[in-house]
Amino acid sequence: MLSLPWWVYLVVAGIIFSGYMTVKTAAREREIDEAFIEKEGEIYMERIRKERERRKQAKSLQ
């Protein structure tokens, strides 16, 4: 193991670090995507609630 050149150890360390950062970044992006989807879903549900209320009021006026 000690007979390998020093730069080989740097390359292996770089590969391990790169893999770690890829996993970390993918997890963070997934969190951001889930937060965005949750926000958009809440906006959509609010629109549905307002439409139901509008229809309910229109029906009661008839």
How does pLDDT run across 20-51, given as a tens digit for each residue? 999 999 999 999 999 999 999 999 999 999 99
Residues of the domain holding 52: 33-62
> What pTM, to 2 d.p., does this model score?
0.63
- Rounded to 5°, the CA angle 40-26-35 comes to 20
In the structure encoding, which two tokens stand for residue 59, read together?
Answer: 């029906």
In a domain, residue 5? The reply is no
> Is 48 inside any structural domain?
yes
Residue 19 maps to a domain = no
Q: Who has greater pLDDT, 24 or 61?
A: 24
How far CA 45 is from CA of 14, 41, 48, in Å, comes to 46, 6, 5
CA-to-CA dists, residue 31 to 21, 23, 40, angstroms: 15, 13, 14
Encoding tokens for residue 11?
Answer: 């390359």
11 lies in some domain: no
Domain count, the chain: 1
